[in-house]
Structure 1
Amino acid sequence: MDSASCPTQLKRERRRHTILLAFQSLGVVYGRLCTAPLYVFGSIDPRDIKSENEVYELFSFIFWTITILPLLKYAFIVLKADNDGEGGTFSLYALLCKHAKVGMLPSDKCANEIIDREGESPKKIKAQSRARRAIEGHKSSHYLLLFLALFGSCMIIADGVLTPSISVLSATKGIGRSLSKFSEKIISSEKTREHVEKFASKYLPISSACAILVALFALQHYGTHKIGFMFAPVIIIWLAFIVGLGLYNIVYHHQILWAISPVYLFRFFRSINFTDWKLLGNIVLCIAGSEAMFTDLGHFSKKSIKVTFVFLVYPALVICYAGQAAFISQHLGYSDDIVHLSESIPDRSIHHVFSVLSLFASVVGSQATVTASFSIINQCQALACFPRVKVIHTSEKIHGQVYTPDVNWIMMTISLAVTIGFHDIKPLGYATGFAVIWAILVTTCLMSLVISLYWEKNTLISGCFLIFFGAIEAMYLSSSLMTIPDGAWFVIVLMLIFMAIMISWHYGTVKKYEFDIENKVSVEWLTDLSPGLGVSRVPGIGFIYTDVVSGIPAFFSHFIANLPAFHHVLIFVSFKSLPEPHIPQNQRYLIGRVGPKEYKIYRCVVLYGYRDHVRDIDDFEEHVIGSIGEFIAREEHDHESLISPEGKMMVFGGLHGEGAALIPQTEIVSHLTTSAEIELQASSSLDAPSGSSQGRQRKVRFTLPPDSPRMHSSVRAELQELVDARESGTAYFLGKSHYSVSKGSNIFKRLLITTYILLDKNCREPTVALNIPLAALLEVGTVYTI
């Protein structure tokens, strides 16, 4: 009975969890799509609509665009291309990097050096090589893919800046109209009424929008989970309101239902002119927020996002747009505000209720693009395409829920500047539509490659996907290009700024890595030549943090040349990001040996995904030492490691507890600098930051397991040396980078490097591991000529 009830209970738990995520997704993912009716028709100049049939044609475009792109493309196709539960433009690029040799990042270049990818059948490898030969063999295609990923990311960030402005401003415009109409009833003086109307139409929307924007961005630190619970009820009430409003207008003007027929699309194309074609730049706003369905995937789940859209959001939007189009078609020429959603309200007594509700809904509508921007920037930063910024994981259970305070306040500043600068929905609508269609088109291009290279479908299927969806999006793009002088130019400015930052950071990171590779010294220099240099060994463990995964980094050889002494045990630690969201804990540490056993030099490569925060753990040092202990115990049974140049690297997961080579025991102690470390720092002429000798209060001490015939005496002796070295103290060596531009560089390269140097000096310091005692930290200066 119990065994039979477990699957049923598990299904109930999953169903309950899906419903909960679906509820939260309404307030985070779909707020943007649900509030788009506020400005789709509202951003159109009523004088550009010539007849009732033209309204029907525009509604037909809205219906088929929502049906084909958000419903068919995203809900049923693109959501399946998740990268271990993560979505977004960079997630698609990461999939291509992981399953095809197209990566241009430093982590991609060294991945083959440290990871042995085995287990693929010859048949699969052959099939993959045929499908990928064209793109993998051309370097230019690799640059193009990286450019597409960065370009799409820039457009999503630009959309995240513009959406709060247009959403909040369109709602506050309704408040201004409500105040104007209210003043007509209670103010008898014509002069006073004119002042009130001027304030309501010009100053109130701007000031109210700015105040709401500040409040919106101030709420972000609470995280997606809490914001979703706060915002979801607002969207549910909003959807109920606009559905009721749409049904009312459809009942009185049911002829609009005929516009669902694609015949109206052909009528639009048959009588096309420049003004009508430009209207498509406004109509594309009906799918603004579709990209968030995929980008915010890491915050929720595929099933919750799909179910919510198919059964709730999609039908509600179709009804709302149909009712609004029906009302506009019957009241053309009545007023200049006839295209605004508030005008279709039949009962003026609830007009004020609508104004307040639309204001709350517009705030919620901005949330989707804001969280999408956080996700994209976190992915770009993890893959070395964005400067270091602080990333806060706001959920313990869902790793994709992140908050970046630095970016949050920058986005708020730009949104306020945009709101004050444009102070009108129309140019903001053009700019937003321009960013939206570019982001969607980039996703289509990358998705077509994923279908071919990752899903390994026929090239014909991939081509049909690209042609079908790409043609529709190219049509809207051609219309949006006409709006560049009217407001879309601002997106180009934002894109150029963000692209300059991303490309400069990526270029500088790659060149720095190449410099490290070219200037590293061989292992023999340290092991064979060090006795001739008079190098002495002092008690303790030395952690050397480096970007290279083989050889000795240049900054450490510079340190040995100036101060010929290093610790009894050396551990070279490298952090390497991989193009996937998460690395399991049991596959996180790659451990190998550098040189002969008697030198006690090890290498540890820490693998992490672009969603992991492995560098933020407090017990990082203990995990590394525990993994090295496991490596020493297992190495004697691995004959291949004895003939490898630096020893075969093995995968470990940190502390193992009982039955491990080293048994961890946690205790509360104060970290004091050892005499050996003090001697090293006192005699060093290099720059070492000052600080207190007091460090962490929590420490893990290691002991050896009881004697066992299965453990060789030499292994036990080496483990004991590792434990004794740990007890003697630990020192940490970091390279301090100083940059200079190489002679003969052209202007473009000089500009990239100068920008990289500026960004490197002003962004956050790399956090290789937290709580490093300052008294045990040694920074070795190195000049990078790039």
Structure 2
Amino acid sequence: MSSNDAIVDTTTPTEEVSQEEISSDQQQQLNAKKLSLQKLRRYDSLDMESARLHGHLRHGSKGAKWSVILSLAFQSIGVVYGDIGTSPLYVYAATFTKGIKHNDDILGVLSLILYTLTLIPLVKYVFVVLRANDNGDGGTFALYSLICRYAKVGLIPSQELEDRDVSNFQLELPNNRLRRASRLKSMLENSRFAKFFLLFATMLGTSMVIGDGVLTPCISVLSAVGGIKEATSSVTEGMIVWISVAILICIFVAQRFGTDKVGYTFAPIICVWFLFIATIGVYNFFKFDPTVIKALNPQYIVEYFKRNKKDAWISLGGIVLSITGTEALFADVGHFTVRSIQISMCTVTYPALILAYSGQASFLRKHNEFVSDTFFKSIPGAMYWPMFGVAMMAAIIASQAMISGTFSIIQQSLSLGCFPRVKVVHTSSKYEGQVYIPEINYLLMLACVAVTIGFRTTEKIGHAYGIAVVFVMTLTSSFLVLIMIMIWKTHILLIISYVLVIGTVEILYLSSVLYKFDQGGYLPMAFALVLMAIMYIWNDVYRKKYYYELDHKISPEKLKEIAVDTNFCRIPGLAVFYSELVHGIPPIFKHYMANVPALHSVLVFVSFKSLPISKVPAEERFLFRRVQPNDLNVFRCVVRYGYTDVRHEPEPFERMLVERLKQFVREDHVFVAMVRDGNQESTDDDDDEKANNVNNAKKAENNEKVAEAMEREIEVLEKAWRSGIVHLVGENEVIAGKGAGIGKRVLINYAYSFLRRNLRQTDKVFDIPHKRLLKVGMTYEL
């Protein structure tokens, strides 16, 4: 950014600012800082203007009423817990794949399930990880965003001073233990490897969660449909597979209708599900073997490992399925609040699951032979068909929730330049996080159908499922340790305790599920590798393009040449030129002017920028900058979004842009007048009444001139708006530069070009009207 550009942040209030409406707050800031206009122009932002808005409530920390919290807690049951709630369908079957060899093995497994449920979902996620939300939003990208905001580890140099003045950007940091935090922060900022590794880990974790979105519908629906076998022996395995495929297709086809009332629609069903499994658990507990309460003694875990040794370690891959869907606790916190999820987990989900697993263990103590169909065999006869119906609905809900979560994750990665452009449809005006991505939906459907037909049984799918679950949990713990050290500045003993207890448990489970790599565990790895390749190719070229534009941006001197060149003519209208470059004017504008020697009366360069935060308040979204010389009427505008913001507001983007631009012009003129008046006051002699009167008269005269200049410029903008808007979009062809290696040529010329040709272009993503669209072509040699 050149020092010749005068830059003003238009963090505009809703009311229009006039000459007389100069706030005393701004005047005090001006007088305190004693800024001159010359000094002001050396800044890349106006700290006073951008810091004007404060006191915004954070989504994750706002003090909601208890009635609202309880309502959200109820809704969260239907959205968050479908996956973990349906785990009792298959956990014991996946754990005892070779049958039960010793009756006390059931107590050992139950003890493992109880302590795993307590340590991972309850202690780790509900009471620790949920605190690491990003202004109320969770997931792998939320953790990465927190780290990016505190340490400069982003790989694209689009950071601006103004971004830190967005109210949601600021972090509340404790002041103790600074040395350890500063040392880690410095290490991350100075290590290019660390920056790449953090992005790589985030992409890998995201890919694993998407893989989870493929496997959850398969195993949930297949397990629920399998209950038909208990009612009739005429149903074969093949019939169960094809019924499951039909249900899966229906689930994915229904996604396009959205989930506007997902919470209130699904919550009663999942509540009934939890009530049923808890009631049946209590019934089986008292009917068959109440002594399973002994499993609270961890000694049974030790004896279980002594008896079974390697087989016990391998069986951990089945036990870990009891906590599938735990990541949804964190990923879906943006739809609710931390407190609401804590309440629903502690009062409904956790107790119901404990009772369900204990009841099944009591049943198995008397019926070892039914371990492969524990869930449906343990249902009392009169409850069978109601339970089967509720199980089917719960499985569908678990699938739907995970698919929706996958859409949200891809939206986040898309916003941060880590995924190719796809169309994101917001299915609800009430719930911002509810999105639908058509291309991804049908790719997931094909993947689910293929997995269901190929694996056919829950046992084989379970081998694949565990790797995705445990890997994401381990990655979350790694990011959380960085946050504990850098941001929370947690006591070192607590960090060590967390790593030794939670970390050890997760590493143990991860080692077990990796052992089954050749039995289906390769599947999520294959999904992850494909998605990682797509993300890496897109992000790598995206960064190279940005650096190319940054290195070849148009200088202020070149703009001045355009301004005085008599060969250029001005035509009526307003041109909006879209670019990804935040700093400066992109090189494609020079290419445009070389071929079309005409300039619209007003030109605005618009860059859509994603900040590493979840949401940007609407009043802080537009950041305008005036490009010198003023008589060109050229402006630059950065439209800032968080990764969960809705990009298409109900009001047309064009109208919002013009209104905010007029607001910026008003504030710009008023602000310059304030600075000039403040400078004059600082040189006045307060004892000279005559001089003061003269200065007051000059101020009044200058204010009239400012008002006239402001109205003239506003009139130019309105005239350009009435004449029509033209949208100019760069149609960039990206090729590898001369002398590039074979790897770089394959990456850019073939892999990236293939993705770009087969996915949506900028005008389709941003819904630019085709009647007013003009594409400008240019070749970038990277």
TM-score (norm 1): 0.83
Match of 1:163 in 2: 216
Mapped partners of 1:642, 1:562: distance in 2: 41
Q: 1:352–1:538: structure 2 CA closer, same or farther, 3 Å change rule?
A: closer
Q: Which amino acid aligns with 2:775?
A: E
Correspondence for 2:26: none
The Cα shift of 1:393 comes to 2.3
The answer to whether residue 114 in structure 2 is matched with residue 63 in structure 1 is yes
Give CA deviations for 1:755-780 in whole Å, capped at 9, x if unaligned: 22211111122248866443432211
1:75 aligns with 2:126: yes
User: 771, 778, 781: which one pairs with 1:782?
Assistant: 778
Which sections of structure 2, spanning at least 5 residues, go unmatched? 1-61, 677-701
Q: CA deviation at 1:553?
A: 1.6
Alignment of 1:681-760 (within 5 A): 709=704, 711-753=706-748, 754-760=750-756
Letter in 2 for 1:497: V
Shift of 1:596: 1.8
The one of 751, 765, 768 equivalent to 2:761 is 765
In terms of mean alpha carbon deviation, does 547-556 or 595-604 score higher?
A: 547-556
The alpha-carbon distance between structure 1 residues 480 and 721, as it changes in their structure 2 partners (threshold 3 A), is: same
Per-residue deviation, residues 74-120 of structure 1 (Å, max 9, x unmatched): 1111111111111111111111111211112x3xx212365465999
Which of residues 614, 627, 632 in structure 1 aligns to 2:647? 614
Matched residue SS, 1:520: coil
Offset at residue 339 of structure 1 (A): 4.8
Corresponding residue of 1:397: 430
Work out whether residues 74 and 293 of structure 1, in 8 Å CA contact, stay in contact via their aligned partners in 2: yes
Q: Cα RMSD between the aligned structures?
A: 2.8
Task: Please give the alpha-carbon distance, in whole angstroms, between the structure 2 residues aligned to 1:547 and 1:365.
Answer: 38
Which residue number corresponds to residue 258 of structure 2? 223
| Cα offsets for 1:596-645 (capped at 9, x unmatched) | 222221111111111112345542222222222222222235459999xx
Distance 1:145 1:534, change over 3 A: same
Aligned to 1:603, the other structure's residue is in SS state strand
1:491 aligns with 2:527: no
Contact residue 173 and residue 201 of structure 1 kept, 8 A: no
Cα distance between partner residues in 1 of 2:164 and 2:378: 64
- For residues 23 and 475 of structure 1, the distance between their equivalents in structure 2, rounded to whole angstroms, comes to 34
1:174 to 221, 224, 227: 227
The unaligned stretches of length 5 or more in structure 1 are: 1-10, 181-195, 644-706
Deviations 1:653-701 (A, max 9, x none): xxxxxxxxxxxxxxxxxxxxxxxxxxxxxxxxxxxxxxxxxxxxxxxxx
Mapped partners of 1:391, 1:63: distance in 2: 40
- Secondary structure of the equivalent of 1:602? strand
Match of 1:362 in 2: 395
Count residues in correspondence.
Answer: 689
**Displacement after TM superposition at 1:430 (Å):** 0.8
Q: 2:604 aligns with which of 571, 574, 593?
A: 571
- 1:236 is the counterpart of 2:236: no
- Counterpart residue number, 1:17: 68
**Residues 260 and 431 in structure 2, CA contact (< 8 A), matched pair in contact too:** no
Distance 1:218 1:303, change over 3 A: farther
Q: Does 1:27 align with 2:78?
A: yes
For 1:110, the equivalent position in structure 2 comes to 158
Report the 3-state secondary structure (helix = DSSP H, G, I; strand = E; otherwise coil) of the residue aligned with 1:606. Answer: strand
Distance in 1 of aligned mates of 2:458 and 2:658: 59
Map of 2:20 onto structure 1: none
1:339-394 Cα distance to aligned partner (Å, 9 max, x none): 5211223x434433433332222212223322221221111111111111222223
- 8 Å contact kept, 2:280–2:356: yes
Aligned-residue offset at 1:61: 0.5
Which position in structure 2 is the counterpart of 1:206?
Answer: 241
Match of 2:283 in 1: 248
Distance (Å, rounded) in 1 between the aligned partners of 2:775 and 2:63: 55
Q: Distance in 2 between matches of 1:92 and 1:12?
A: 23
Amino acid at match of 1:439: V
1:258 pairs, out of 272, 289, 294, with 294
SS at match of 1:636: helix
Match of 2:328 in 1: 292
8 Å Cα contact 2:209/2:406 also seen in 1? yes
Give the Cα–Cα distance (whole angstroms) in 1 for the partners of residues 173 and 398 of structure 2: 50
Compared with structure 1, are the counterparts of its residues 58 and 757 closer, same or farther at alpha carbon in structure 2 (3 Å cutoff)? same
Matches within 5 A, 1:499-510: 499-510=532-543
Q: Answer yes or no: is 1:318 the counterpart of 2:371.
A: no
Give me the whole-angstrom Cα distance separating, in 2, the residues matched to 1:554 and 1:717: 31
Letter in 1 for 2:358: A
- Residue 520 in 1 paired to residue 553 in 2? yes
Structure 1 residues 435 and 747, CA, compared in 2 at 3 Å: closer, same or farther? farther
The answer (yes or no) to whether the contact 1:538–1:567 under 8 Å persists in 2 is yes
Residue 32 of structure 1 contacts residue 367 of structure 1 at CA under 8 Å; is this kept in 2?
no
Could you tell me how far 1:498 is from its partner in structure 2? Answer: 0.8
CA contact (8 A) 1:385 1:505 kept: yes
Residue type at the aligned position of 1:739: V
Q: Given the alignment of the two structures, is residue 605 of structure 1 paired with residue 600 of structure 2, yes or no?
A: no
**Pair 1:154-2:207 in alignment:** yes
Code of the residue aligned with 1:774 in structure 2: it is H
The match for 1:52 among 92, 99, 103 is 103
1:410 and 2:410 matched? no
Give runs of aligned pairs for residues 385-464 of structure 1, distance below 5 A: 385-464=418-497
CA distance in 2 between counterparts of 1:286 and 1:465 reads: 21
Q: Which one scores higher on RCO, CA 8 angstroms, separation ≥ 6?
A: 2
Distance verdict in 2 for CA 1:464–1:751, change over 3 Å: farther
* CA distance, structure 2, for counterparts of residue 434 and residue 284 of structure 1: 9
Deviation at residue 411 of structure 1 after TM alignment: 1.0
What's 2:664 paired with? Answer: 631
Indicate conservation of the 8 Å contact 2:364/2:374, yes or no: no
Deviation of 1:488 (Å): 0.8
Aligned residue for 1:528, secondary structure, equals: helix
Any idea what SS the aligned residue of 1:782 has? strand
Q: CA deviation at 1:532?
A: 4.1
| Preserved contact between residue 536 and residue 566 of structure 1 (Cα < 8 Å) | yes
* Structure 1 CA distance for aligned equivalents of residues 581 and 309 of structure 2: 60
312 and 78 in structure 1: CA distance in 2 versus 1, 3 angstrom threshold: same
Q: Are the aligned partners of 2:733 and 2:778 in contact in 1 as well (CA < 8 Å)?
A: yes
Does the 8 Å contact 1:616/1:767 carry over to 2? Answer: no
Give distance in 2, aligned partners of 1:726 and 1:66: 60
The change in CA–CA distance for 1:351 and 1:714 in structure 2 (over 3 A counts) is closer
Q: Which amino acid aligns with 1:490?
A: L
Q: 2 CA distance for matches of 1:261 and 1:726?
A: 75
Which deviations, in whole Å up to 9, do the C-alpha atoms of 1:383-423 show, x marking residues without a partner? Answer: 11111122222332332222223222211111111001110
1-structure distance, mates of 2:527, 2:225? 25
1:139 to 172, 177, 192: 192
- Which residue of structure 2 lines up, in the alignment, with residue 281 of structure 1? 317
- Give me the whole-angstrom Cα distance separating, in 2, the residues matched to 1:399 and 1:775: 30
Q: Deviations over 1:430-455 (max 9, x none)?
A: 11111100111111111111222222
Cα deviation, 1:195-234, whole Å, max 9, x if unaligned, reads x3xxx13222111101111222233234344233332222
Alignment CA distance shift 1:397-1:456 (3 Å): farther
CA deviation vs aligned residue, 1:696-731 (integer Å, no higher than 9, x gap): xxxxxxxxxxx9959532222222222222233322
In the alignment, structure 1 residue 92 sits paired with structure 2 residue 143: yes
Once the two structures are superposed, residues 521-562 of structure 1 have per-residue CA deviations (whole angstroms, 9 ceiling, x without a partner) of 212212235534722222222221112233332211111112
Q: Find the counterpart in structure 2 of residue 40 from structure 1.
A: 91
Is contact 2:230-2:377 (8 Å) kept? no
Aligned equivalents of 1:384, 1:737: Cα separation in 2? 16
Q: Which moved more, 1:618-627 or 1:539-548?
A: 618-627
SS of equivalent residue, structure 2 residue 261 = helix
